[in-house]
Amino acid sequence: MTETVSAPNQSALYVVATPIGNLGDMVPRAIETLQTVDVIAAEDTRHSARLLSHFGIQTPLLAYHDHSDGRQVQALVARLLSGESVALISDAGTPLVSDPGYRLVRRAREAGVRVVPVPGACALVAALSASGLPSDRFSFEGFLPPKSGQRQNRLQTLVAETRTLIFYEAPHRIEECLADMALAFGAEREAVLARELTKTFETIVGGSLQSLCEFVAADPNQRRGEMVLMVRGREADAGEGLDEDARRIMTILLAELSVKQASQLAAEITGVRKKLLYQWALEQQP
C-alpha cells in the first residue's frame, strides 16, 4: 500500500534540505513546507533568517542544534504531539548529514510522530556526482578529528577500504589533512577536492593526493570555503574484487577470446575495472 505524504499543515516533523550555496537550488516543496509549518527549528537562526527572508518566509524560527539539552528536544516533541508541525533545517544542505537533528528525529519517531523528508541539496552527493570516482559503493566519513594524531589513527582504520571515501573538511585544516592522507593511503592514491560547490568560485580538481597537496599549497584561494574531499578506495586484489558473476563471464569469454579482449568485453558487461579482470585472468593461467 502506498502511503500518502503529509501536507505541511499536518502535524509532523519535516526534515527540509536547503541550498548549499546557490539559492536557485531551493526546491518548491521546501519553500511551501517552510511557509506553512508552525515553527522552524534551525541550526543558526541568524543564518537561516537570511534564507527565509529571500523567499519571503515569515514562519517563526527557534534554535536547535546537537548541543541543545534534552529539554529542548522534549519541548519540540511536545509541540508535535499537541498537533503542531515543525520543520528542521541546518545551515546548508540536508539536515543530519554531519549536521544537527539526529536526537530530535529519533525522539520524534519513538513518540509516534511522523517524520517526513523534504529532499534537496546535499554536498556529498553533489561532489560525488561530479568527481569521476567510483560511485556505486562509497563510505561517507564526515569530518575527521581536528588533531593530527587522532586524524592519522582514524585514517589508518580506512586504509583497506575499497569503497570511495568521502570527507568534509574545514579550510584551515585542508593542507594538514591532505598530507596525513598521503601518508596513510600513499601519495599516488587518486583523490578529488570539491570546493565551494554551486557557488561563484566552485572548484573541482582531481589527481593524486600528492598533486592535490601541491595544488592547495600553491594557491591560498584553495584554502577557503566549504570543502568535500573524496579518495578512491584501495585497489582490490585480483579475485578479491570479482564476484561470482564476473568470474563466470570471464571464464566463458576466455574460452573464445584473448585475455585482453575478454577483459575489455567483461568490463563493459560487468562494470568491473578492466585492469582487475585482466589480472585475474592472468592468475588463472597455468
Whether residue 223 sits in one domain with residue 128:
yes
Whether residue 69 sits in one domain with residue 49:
yes
pLDDT of residue 1: 42
Cell of 125: 552527493
Tens digits of pLDDT across the chain (286 residues): 444 555 555 789 999 999 999 999 999 999 999 999 999 999 899 999 999 999 999 999 999 976 667 888 999 999 999 999 999 999 999 999 987 788 999 999 999 999 999 999 999 999 999 999 999 889 999 999 999 999 999 999 999 898 999 999 999 999 999 999 999 999 999 999 999 999 999 999 999 999 999 999 999 999 999 999 999 998 765 555 678 888 899 999 999 999 999 999 999 998 888 888 988 888 888 7
Whole-model pTM: value is 0.79
pLDDT of residue 193: 98
Strand residue runs (E) in 173-251:
190-195, 203-208, 227-231
Whether residue 151 sits in one domain with residue 198:
yes
Whether residue 226 sits in one domain with residue 187:
yes
Q: What are the φ/ψ torsions at residue 146 (nearest 5 degrees)?
A: -70, -25
Residue 132 lies in domain: 124-231
Quote the CA–CA distance of 11 and 7 in Å, as a whole number. 9
Q: What are the φ/ψ torsions at residue 265 (nearest 5 degrees)?
A: -70, -40
**Inter-CA distances, 145 with 141, 149, 167, Å:** 11, 9, 11
Domain assignment present for residue 50? The answer is yes
Where does residue 50 rank: exposed (0-12), middle (13-18), buried (19+ CB within 10 A)?
A: exposed
pLDDT of residue 238: 52
Count of structural domains within the chain: 3
pLDDT of residue 2: 45
CB atoms under 10 Å from CB of 173, counted, come to 19
Whether residue 104 sits in one domain with residue 62:
yes
For cell 526534515, what's the residue? 15
